[in-house]
Structure 1
Amino acid sequence: MRSRYTAYVMENQEYLLQTWHPSTRPMQLDFEPTKWIGLTVHSHTQSDETHAQVTFSARYKVNGKAFKMHECSSFIQEYGQWFYIDGDY
């Protein structure tokens, strides 16, 4: 989760797409001018060896206005690598 947050901060589309599961991965990402200002991981739950959920909050600004997103993200592990599946807000 922290590495994907850092990729958003750095606008590293390649890394985000590589760590996004092919079943839900978009063709490309469009980045708005966003200033990411903080990540808090609230919980991590692993339901089995290949499935996990991470609940987090991320703070950011767009055009000087502050926002906070809260998400429970689902991940799956395949071939030793964790992939983002989707998230519930």
Structure 2
Amino acid sequence: MSRRNRQPAATAATPCPCGLPAPYGDCCAGLHRGESAAPTAERLMRSRFSAFAVGDEAYLLRSWHPDTRPAEVDFDPGVHWLRLEIHSTTEGGPFHQEGTVDFTAHYSDRGTPDALREHSRFVRHDGAWVYLDALPPA
């Protein structure tokens, strides 16, 4: 299985995959390039979804807590990330140390629509928000 994501590349002018009403260049691209940091857990979640959509393994690994981070991200070339739906958040603001984001990531797997529902936990590590893990289903 190839680790390379074969989805169309996002350009600065294309809509950002994270779902916010801004072009990729004004939204998640700066986070992906390390020019800025996500101010909230939700913003980090959105930027990580965009990183999956554009195949940015380096950003995904940088934004993953070192205690739970894998050695690599194995992108499936048949999976195309389509849309992110945020259901709820707890804490995760500029003055918090941890937070959660409950979301559904919509994708197609070799043309078949599907979705991943997850309640993710985020914490601050060295001052920056990082993804820690998924909470067990309630």
Question: What secondary structure does 1:31 align onto?
Answer: coil
Cα offsets for 1:16-75 (capped at 9, x unmatched): 000000000000011002111110111110178211000000110011111111000000
Question: What secondary structure does 1:2 align onto?
Answer: helix
Tell me by how many angstroms 1:80 deviates: 2.2
Q: State the match for 1:29 in structure 2.
A: 73
Amino acid at match of 2:122: F
Counterpart check, 1:61 vs 2:108: yes
Question: What secondary structure does 2:58 align onto?
Answer: helix
TM-score for both structures, normalised by structure 1: 0.93
Gaps of 5+ in 1: none
Gaps of 5+ in 2: 1-44
Question: What secondary structure does 1:5 align onto?
Answer: helix
Distance 2:71 2:127 in 1: 23
- 1:40 alignment partner, one of 59, 66, 85: 85
Q: State the match for 1:79 in structure 2.
A: 126
Q: Percent identity?
A: 38
TM-score for both structures, normalised by structure 2: 0.61
Distance 2:117 2:123 in 1: 20
Distance 2:58 2:46 in 1: 16
Distance 2:63 2:132 in 1: 9
